[in-house]
């Protein structure tokens, strides 16, 4: 088989807010080859990702992603890896390329699994998928009372682990954050697992992160996520050294597997969190998972959007029993929920992949039509890209 076409579908909520909620829009990718089609999702700015696929070349190492993908052979996992290598070489200076290719790479795995009648996790060499403890991933409430209501609702839905992040956390005083943490812990109970995401809020103020250490440990949080920027290794390691029962988590901002390796080597992270829709797809995610296993670092997926993205992020470590956690979008916007016809069920607080071919998640074409934004890119008066229509997708 050879890659015949790559189509993008930019879907969005009617109104985009500035809250830290990445489920407000999405870029779905459909790849066709040999009479089969696969679907993936980029975790990135949709419009700029589309542009990276069609942009005119600037020079030999700054070519559009399409130049390395269209027409290439796709008969094995090795072929997917070869295409990835071509993208890295030919789009070396195109900084959006990893995000654009991530969705394409995921779709290639989905297509290959469907063509072979095998789930992606089996193509990766796993004997079976292990159930993961799903942690409800949500934003902190505007005040402790709202955080408490959210936490109680998650517990009632069967979650035995919850992560709160962003919102007002870290933007006010230490006392403000202590109240938020106490509300979260009281809501979910001491028998449930609590995780905290700072959203890089202390990038310019490492001392502020250190001032929260006592509260994080008192509330028995398991990790403090992204306290600093993705390349602030020294600050991360310093904070990790000040913590005794809480780990540092990071990795969602890794746009290559090498960035993830540097985090594990220099930032003293206990948890590495990888988004298949950002790092380059399923293949790089799987390699990071294996490196994490060898270094004694816990691998966790990063997913805050659709269940297509959730399935793709679970596949790289589905068969590794030691990695027991999965981020689970608990309050996605309707677009993120509606664009897939299938959703991974939460069973006794755990989530697991099935054995359907590919990723096992079908997109909902009607929903794409309801949320799709029409894009046309014109250069010198000539269209170089026009959105695929729902009719083309059907």
Q: What are the two backbone dihedrals, phi and then psi, of residue 90, each rounded to the nearest 5 degrees?
A: -80, -25
The fraction of the chain above a pLDDT of 70, given in percent, is 99
Residues 228-270 have pLDDT tens digits of 999 999 999 999 999 999 999 999 999 999 999 999 999 999 9
Does residue 392 or residue 190 have the better pLDDT? 190
**Given a cut of 60, is residue 328 above it in pLDDT?**
yes
Q: Residue 110's pLDDT band (boundaries 50, 70, 90)? A: very high
Domain around 242: 123-351
345 and 386 assigned to the same domain: no
**Given a cut of 80, is residue 394 above it in pLDDT?**
no
CA distances to 92, 250, 258 from 262, rounded to whole Å, are 20, 11, 6
Q: Tell me, what CATH number does 151's domain have?
A: 3.20.20.120
How high does pLDDT run on average in the chain? Answer: 96
Q: Tell me, what CATH number does 67's domain have?
A: 3.30.390.10
226 and 274 assigned to the same domain: yes
Q: How many domains does the chain have?
A: 2
297 and 166 assigned to the same domain: yes
Task: Please report the pLDDT score of residue 388 as a whole number.
Answer: 82
95 and 234 assigned to the same domain: no
169 and 260 assigned to the same domain: yes
268 and 381 assigned to the same domain: no
User: 22 lies in a domain?
Assistant: yes
CA distance 108 to 112: 6
265 and 319 assigned to the same domain: yes
Q: Alpha helix (H) ranges present in the chain?
A: 46-54, 66-69, 77-90, 97-116, 120-123, 144-156, 174-188, 206-210, 213-218, 233-242, 257-266, 276-279, 282-295, 307-314, 334-338, 365-371, 390-393
H and E: helices and strands count for the chain: 17, 14
CA distance 156 to 133: 16
CA nearest 91: which of 128, 115, 60, 123?
60
User: 15 lies in a domain?
Assistant: yes
347 and 297 assigned to the same domain: yes
CA distances to 85, 163, 251, 338 from 332, rounded to whole Å, are 33, 14, 21, 10
Q: What are the two backbone dihedrals, phi and then psi, of residue 322, each rounded to the nearest 5 degrees?
A: -65, -25
Q: Residue 390's pLDDT band (boundaries 50, 70, 90)? A: low
Query: Which residue in this structure is represented by tokens 């942690």?
Result: 135
User: 357 lies in a domain?
Assistant: no
82 and 163 assigned to the same domain: no
User: 168 lies in a domain?
Assistant: yes
User: 93 lies in a domain?
Assistant: yes
CB 29 within 8 Å of CB 40: yes
133 and 77 assigned to the same domain: no
User: 280 lies in a domain?
Assistant: yes
**Given a cut of 60, is residue 121 above it in pLDDT?**
yes
User: 356 lies in a domain?
Assistant: no
Residues 13-69 have pLDDT tens digits of 999 999 999 999 999 999 999 999 999 999 999 999 999 999 999 999 999 999 999
CA distances to 65, 97, 100, 149, 251 from 62, rounded to whole Å, are 9, 10, 14, 49, 26
187 and 102 assigned to the same domain: no
Question: What does the block give as tokens for 58?
Answer: 């600037």
305 and 325 assigned to the same domain: yes
CB 150 within 8 Å of CB 143: no
Residues 139-163 have pLDDT tens digits of 999 999 999 999 999 999 999 999 9
Question: What does the block give as tokens for 31?
Answer: 């790849």
pTM: 0.96
User: 216 lies in a domain?
Assistant: yes
């Amino acid at each position: 088989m050879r890659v015949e076409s790559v189509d993008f579908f930019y879907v969005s909520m009617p109104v985009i807010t500035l809250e830290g909620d990445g489920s407000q829009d999405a870029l779905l990718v459909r790849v066709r080859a040999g009479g089969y089609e696969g679907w993936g999702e980029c975790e990135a700015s949709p419009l700029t990702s589309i542009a990276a696929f069609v942009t005119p070349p600037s020079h030999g190492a700054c070519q559009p992603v399409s130049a390395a993908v269209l027409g290439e052979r796709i008969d094995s996992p090795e072929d997917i890896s070869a295409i990835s290598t071509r993208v890295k070489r030919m789009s070396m200076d195109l900084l959006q390329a990893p995000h654009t290719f991530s969705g394409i790479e995921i779709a290639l795995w989905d297509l290959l699994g469907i063509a072979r009648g095998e789930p992606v996790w089996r193509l990766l060499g796993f004997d079976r998928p292990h159930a993961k403890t799903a942690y409800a991933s949500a934003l902190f409430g505007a005040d402790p009372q709202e955080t408490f209501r959210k936490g109680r609702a998650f517990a009632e839905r069967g979650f035995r682990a919850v992560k709160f992040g962003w919102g007002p956390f870290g933007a006010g005083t230490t006392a403000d954050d202590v109240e938020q943490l106490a509300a979260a812990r009281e809501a979910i109970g001491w028998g449930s697992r609590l995780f905290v995401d700072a959203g890089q809020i202390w990038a310019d103020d490492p001392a502020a992160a250190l001032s929260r250490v006592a509260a994080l440990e008192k509330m028995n949080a398991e990790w403090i996520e992204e306290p600093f920027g993705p390349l602030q290794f020294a600050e991360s390691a310093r904070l990790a050294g000040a913590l005794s029962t809480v780990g540092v988590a990071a990795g969602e901002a890794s746009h290559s597997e090498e960035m993830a390796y540097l985090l594990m080597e220099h930032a003293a992270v206990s948890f590495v969190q990888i988004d298949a829709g950002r790092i380059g797809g399923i293949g790089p995610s799987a390699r990071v998972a294996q490196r994490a296993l060898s270094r004694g670092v816990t691998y966790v997926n990063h997913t805050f959007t659709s269940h297509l993205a959730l399935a793709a992020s679970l596949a790289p470590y589905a068969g590794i029993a030691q990695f027991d956690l999965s981020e689970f979008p608990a309050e996605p916007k309707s677009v993120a929920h509606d664009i897939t016809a299938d959703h991974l069920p939460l069973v006794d607080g755990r989530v697991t992949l099935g054995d359907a071919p590919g990723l096992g998640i079908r997109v909902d074409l009607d929903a794409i039509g309801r949320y799709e934004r029409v894009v046309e890119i014109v250069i010198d008066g000539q269209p170089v890209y026009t959105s695929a229509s729902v009719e083309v997708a059907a």
